[in-house]
């Protein structure tokens, strides 16, 4: 989104009317709620349940972006890839 002011980057994939930044994309946007639920379930399955203790989206973002081991790193990568796939399916703009 070169040339677009940060405040103009309102997420066009949901109705929250917020800037589509990393935090929104990774922790909040309802478009990825299924992907996110899968990530949290998979993290639970490998014993990485501390995301539950994150009280804010910014804490969740830090937790997700700082995976504690190889398995959780792979889950996070899979999650982010799946979000981009979902985003592409819903995108009106060809990138
Ligand atoms: Zn959104």
Exposure of 63 by Cβ count < 10 A (0-12 exposed, 13-18 middle, 19+ buried)?
buried
Domain residue spans of the chain: 6-90
Q: What is the full per-residue pLDDT of the chain (95 aa) written as tens digits?
A: 567 787 789 999 999 999 999 999 999 999 999 999 999 999 999 999 999 999 999 999 999 999 899 999 999 999 999 999 999 999 876 55
Determine the distance separating the centroid of ligand 1 and the alpha carbon of 64, expressed in angstroms: 18
Determine the distance separating the centroid of ligand 1 and the alpha carbon of 66, expressed in angstroms: 22
This prediction has a pTM of 0.86
Q: How many CB atoms are located within 10 Å of the residue 30 CB?
A: 12
Q: 49 to each of 2, 10, 17, 33, 39, how far by Cα in Å?
A: 37, 31, 30, 18, 11
Beta partners for 10?
Answer: 19
* 8 within 8 A of 59, measured Cβ to Cβ: no
Determine the distance separating the centroid of ligand 1 and the alpha carbon of 29, expressed in angstroms: 4
């Amino acid at each position: 989104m070169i040339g677009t002011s940060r405040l103009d980057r309102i997420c066009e994939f949901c109705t929250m009317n917020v800037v589509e930044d990393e935090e929104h994309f990774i922790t909040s946007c309802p478009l990825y709620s299924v992907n996110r639920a899968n990530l949290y379930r998979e993290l639970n399955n490998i014993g990485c349940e501390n995301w539950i203790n994150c009280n804010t989206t910014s804490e969740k973002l830090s937790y997700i972006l700082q995976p504690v081991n190889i398995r959780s790193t792979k889950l996070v990568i899979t999650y982010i890839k799946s979000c981009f796939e979902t985003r592409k399916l819903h995108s009106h703009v060809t990138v």
